[in-house]
Amino acid sequence: MTNQIAMFTAIIATVGAIFAYMGGATQANAGLYKNDAAIKKTEASNQWNYFQAKSTKQSLAEVSRDLTPNAEEKAKYQAKIDRYEKEKNEIKVAAEKLEQEATAWDKKSDAQMHQHHRWAQATTALQVAIALAAIALLTKKKWLEYAMFGMGAIGVAVGGLAALHI
């Protein structure tokens, strides 16, 4: 029983160390992806502010066009209005693209956090299995040895789910 428990503990400790590393890596990735999402959201916000500035300029040009009696001046203001409208459309497309990119980064971050939680659950189960192994060695209780194997199997299974992104 002692050799079996010692071998099990060594294997589970090694697998647990790998799972802990993977958990840390996925947590770091989630943070990086969330940061990328925040950057894209800021860029999108800047574009929407630029869009608003163009809208304000367009509104002022429309008022100026409507208030001026001179046909030549009206044409000049209308050209500005047309230019602002075109620029606004280009800015809107850029802002919406940035918002989509931010959403994509958020989804990647959420997926990494889910995977991180799976790795953490697996690591915790393996740590419990190691603790049960120590108690089984000290008490020489067979049921604790079975519990140790069961908890180890649960930890490896949850680690498998993490590896499969489930």
Query: pLDDT digit string (tens) for 33-46?
Result: 999 999 999 999 99
Distinct helix (H) and strand (E) counts, the chain: 3, 0
34 sits in which H/E element: helix 2-67
Residue 164 to residue 97: CA distance in whole angstroms: 30
- Counting beta carbons within 10 angstroms of the beta carbon of residue 65, is it exposed (0 to 12), middle (13 to 18) or buried (19 or more)? middle
Q: What is the pLDDT at residue 2?
A: 87
**What's the 3-state SS for 36-57?**
HHHHHHHHHHHHHHHHHHHHHH
Residue 91 to residue 50: CA distance in whole angstroms: 7
Report how far Cα 100 is from the mean position of its chain's Cα atoms. Answer: 14
| Section 60-87 average pLDDT | 95
| Section 9-36 average pLDDT | 96
| Structural domain total, the chain | 1
| Section 56-66 average pLDDT | 96
Question: Which DSSP state fits 98?
Answer: H
| pTM tops 0.95, yes or no | no
Range of the domain at 70: 2-163
Q: What is the pLDDT of residues 67-76, one digit of tens each?
A: 999 999 999 9
Residue 114 to residue 30: CA distance in whole angstroms: 9
